Every structure is written in C-alpha cells, then in structure tokens.
C-alpha cells in the first residue's frame, strides 16, 4: 500500500490508497444521494473554510478516512487508560477498517478483545450508520475547527464522564452536550497552547496568497495577540525567521512596525 507524499505527515492510514476517481465514486455513491437529517453532502463547501488548516487540502472522503483512523488511535489510547493497558494494543473500536459499505479494495478486520457479539457471516461489510457516525463526527470537528485528535479525545472523555462500562462509538461523539463541551475545551486549549498547521504549504517559501494561507496567518496572529508581549515577540521571531509561517508585511500591518525590532531582539 502506498501513501501520497502530502498525506505522509498523518502517518499511514487505511484509505490513503484511494485514488481521486475512487473518492469521487464513494462520495457520489454513499454521500451525495443520502437523505438524512444531517444533510451530509450540502455542508461540505462551508466546512473547507472552517476546518483545521492541515485538512483543507483533503477531499471529504479522505478526511473521513483520516478521522476514522484517528478515532481508532484514540480509542486504543483511552482503552489503555480506562480499561486495560495490556489488551489496548489489540483494541480498535471498530470491526472493519473500510468505512464505506461495499467500497472494494483491501479490507482488514480489526481484532476484537472485548466480548464478541454473535458470530456473523464471513463476508459481512460495514453498515451505513457506521459511515454516518464517522462522516458527521468529522463534519462537526471541521465546523469547530479542531484537529481530529483533539476533537475525538475531548468528545470521548466527555462521554466517559457519564458511563465507563464501554468506550463511546463514533455515533455518540456529536450530541449537543458533547459539541458544547468540545467547543469550550478547544478554546481553552488554544489559550494554553499555540496550535499551528504542519502542512508545508503554509510556510512562507510556498506562500502564494491563497485564502487558506491568509486565513492561517490570521489565525496565528490572532493567537499571538493573546500572549504576553514578551512571549509574543519571541514567537513572532520564531515564525518570521526560524520557522517562517508569517511575512513581515502581514505582521507590521497587524502589530505595527516596532514589533519587528522587538521580535529580532527576542530571538
């Protein structure tokens, strides 16, 4: 299985082998005609303007595959924390890695260590409601703007406050209470930690003034504006010269010309 170079930063995950043709087919087979209360397809254009910056170059199909993989990783980590550390390496939270029913292509079953349900037919495929759980959860994360690992961990931890007999399923991660909790906690985390995109297309050497690149610079400067002046100057120096994600002109326009010398003195 090969992985696209632009996807490599996410690590290997099931679905990364899907070609654009595959993704178009899956989208129009399983999502566009769907008639659900969530209106799965119509929300996607707006979500490209709100989702976390590293995901803005992914198709909705690829982003959902990634969300499902992050769910599995988070499930495993929380299984170790709350259930059993020894068995956690086998815990996956889902039986099938392929989230699209009858999608074709390689399919691997996730090994179960929790009590198994009644035996099922060998050729059974994933169910449509399981795809909906991943798709809607991913859309909610995109609407909030949080990275998937942050969203899923916060959502699962909220669910675990209500019950600890089992870890929550994907369809349980977007109730109103969960969404409100994650929204508040994401804002709190942003006050405590500076989140920046890892995709190299946001670096200044690849800056072309696209809407997403400008939005990322605005996001970064918004976060820096909430830091104490000394911390802000140090971080501006870092993101102007050491790890260039900002341009001098944009920084001067936002903070004034004096900030450049402050940033130089701080590095």
Residue 92 has pLDDT above 80, yes or no: no
Q: Are residues 221 and 242 in the same domain?
A: yes
Q: What is the pLDDT of residues 160-198, one digit of tens each?
A: 887 766 788 999 999 999 999 999 999 999 999 999 999
Contact predicate 53/198, CB 8 Å: no
Q: Are residues 205 and 182 in the same domain?
A: no
Which of 150, 171, 192 is the C-terminal boundary of a domain?
Answer: 192
Helix (H) or strand (E) holding 137: helix 128-144
- pLDDT given at position 40: 75
- pLDDT given at position 66: 96
Residue 21 has pLDDT above 50, yes or no: yes
Q: Are residues 175 and 251 in the same domain?
A: no
The residues that bridge with 96 in the sheet, in sequence order, are: 109
Select the highest-mean-pLDDT range: 7-21, 22-36, 187-201. Answer: 187-201
Q: Which residue has the higher pLDDT, 112 or 97?
A: 97
Residue 235 has pLDDT above 80, yes or no: yes
- Residue 77: domain span: 5-192
235's tokens: 């971080």
Q: What is the pLDDT of residues 214-234, one digit of tens each?
A: 999 999 999 999 999 999 999
Q: Are residues 17 and 65 in the same domain?
A: yes
Q: Are residues 260 and 158 in the same domain?
A: no
- pLDDT given at position 95: 67
Q: Are residues 134 and 228 in the same domain?
A: no
Q: If you average pLDDT over residues 71-97, what whole number do you get?
A: 76
Residue 96 has pLDDT above 70, yes or no: no
Confidence of residue 109 (pLDDT cuts 50, 70, 90): very low
Q: What is the pLDDT of residues 39-49, one digit of tens each?
A: 678 889 999 99
pLDDT averaged over every residue in the chain: 84
**Is the dihedral angle over the CA atoms 173, 176, 178, 183 positive or is it negative?**
positive
Rounded to the nearest 10 degrees, what angle do helices 229-237 and 211-225 cross at? 150
Our count of domains for the chain comes to 2
> What secondary structure does DSSP assign to 137-205, as a single string?
HHHHHHHHT--HHHHHHHHHHHHHHH--SSPPPGGGS-SHHHHHHHHHHHHHHHHHS------GGGSGG
The number of CA neighbours under 13 Å toward the Cβ of 146 is: 28
Q: Which residue has the higher pLDDT, 28 or 164?
A: 28
Q: Are residues 234 and 179 in the same domain?
A: no
């Amino acid at each position: 299985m090969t992985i696209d170079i632009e996807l490599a930063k996410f690590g290997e995950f099931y679905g990364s082998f899907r070609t654009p043709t595959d993704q178009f087919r899956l989208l129009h087979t399983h999502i566009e005609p769907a008639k659900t209360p969530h209106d799965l397809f119509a929300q996607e254009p707006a979500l490209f303007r709100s989702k976390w910056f590293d995901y803005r170059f992914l198709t909705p199909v690829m982003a959902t595959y990634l969300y499902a993989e992050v769910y599995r990783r988070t499930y495993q980590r929380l299984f170790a924390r709350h259930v059993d550390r020894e068995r956690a390496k086998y815990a996956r939270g889902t039986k099938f890695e392929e989230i699209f029913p009858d999608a074709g292509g390689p399919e691997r079953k996730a090994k179960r260590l929790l009590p198994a349900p009644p035996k099922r037919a060998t050729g059974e495929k994933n169910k449509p409601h399981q795809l909906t759980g991943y798709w809607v959860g991913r859309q909610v994360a995109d609407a909030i703007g949080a990275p998937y690992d942050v969203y899923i961990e916060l959502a699962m931890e909220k669910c675990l406050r209500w019950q600890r007999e089992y870890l929550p399923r994907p369809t349980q991660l977007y109730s109103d209470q969960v969404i409100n909790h994650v929204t508040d906690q994401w804002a709190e985390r942003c006050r405590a930690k500076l989140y920046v995109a890892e995709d190299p297309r946001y670096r200044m050497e690849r800056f072309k003034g696209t809407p997403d690149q400008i939005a990322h610079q605005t996001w970064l400067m918004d976060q820096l504006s909430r830091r104490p002046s000394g911390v802000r100057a140090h971080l501006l120096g870092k993101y102007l010269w050491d790890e260039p994600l900002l341009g001098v002109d944009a920084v001067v326009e936002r903070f004034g010309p004096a900030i450049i010398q402050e940033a130089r003195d701080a590095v």
